[in-house]
Copies of this chain bind each other. A is one copy, B any other.
Amino acid sequence: MLTTERRQFILEILHRNKKVLSSELSNELKVSEDTVRRDLRELAEAGLLQRVHGGALLTSPATASYADRQKQAPKEKEAIAKSAAKLVRPGQVVILDGGTTTLQVARHLPLDLVATVVTNSPPIALALAEHDRIEVIMLGGRLYKKALVNVGTTAIESLRSIRADICMLGVCSLHPEVGISVANLDEAHVKRAMIAGAAEVIGLATEAKLDTAANYVVAPIQTLTYLVTAPSVDLKRLAAYAALGLTIIQEI
């Protein structure tokens, strides 16, 4: 049985049963579990299924992908969020990009912080609704459901009239040469407008995002003033970024 054939078969089973187990597939297909896992890994990267411990599940459309990402490396994201939240000074105007990491930042802002937050992410706006003294400015636009952010000219236009102190960007992919890149063109445009509207730009990145690139480039690395990562990330992996002039923040 050909590799491609086998993978097709896995997808069929998955759509019939809504889930597959690595162990069962290994038995049924007469290949080792390693091979099955490799298949699942490939298929997951292609977005055709959702890997979980023990096998895989159907990728539920739209918002599910967001919920999934919320579960990825939650510890690391929380560590980053805590550090990043401390960078916001009272009275500042902050542009907060959408994303699961920035959502954590919003949650970790002190409840009594006086500030203005500009965001294109409905979940972040809701999280900040509990912060009495934070003024929330929501950027409108078409809701891009995969990332739960508003995109389009409306958002970009609104950003033109905003001069923020800092901008916190959840970077999807970061590469010393390629720069900051994302998987969606609309998102790239909005992020670029956010960067243009702030004096300082803070990038938030989990380790998995380092040294990777996506299809749409937002800006070169030097655009960032700070790069916040988890304390667990090896300094060697960050050397290339530090060399480009960024200040690396791993813990405050």
List residues of A whose CB falls within 8 A of some B CB.
2-5, 19, 21, 42, 45-48, 50, 52-55, 57, 61-63, 66-67, 70-71, 74, 78, 103, 107, 122-123, 125-130, 132, 135-143, 145, 148, 150, 154-155, 158
Contact = CB atoms under 8 A, between A and B. Distances in A.
Nearest to A100: B46
Contact of A126 (B46, B48, B55, B61): B61
Nearest to A123: B126
B53 A70 contact: no
A125 B143 CA distance: 8
A19 B9 CA distance: 14
Copies of this chain, count = 2
B143 A4 contact: no
B130 A63 contact: yes
A19 to B, nearest CB: 6
A142 B54 CA distance: 41
A34 to B, nearest CB: 17
11 contacts: A2-B19, A4-B50, A5-B19, A46-B70, A61-B126, A63-B126, A63-B130, A66-B129, A122-B122, A126-B148, A129-B145
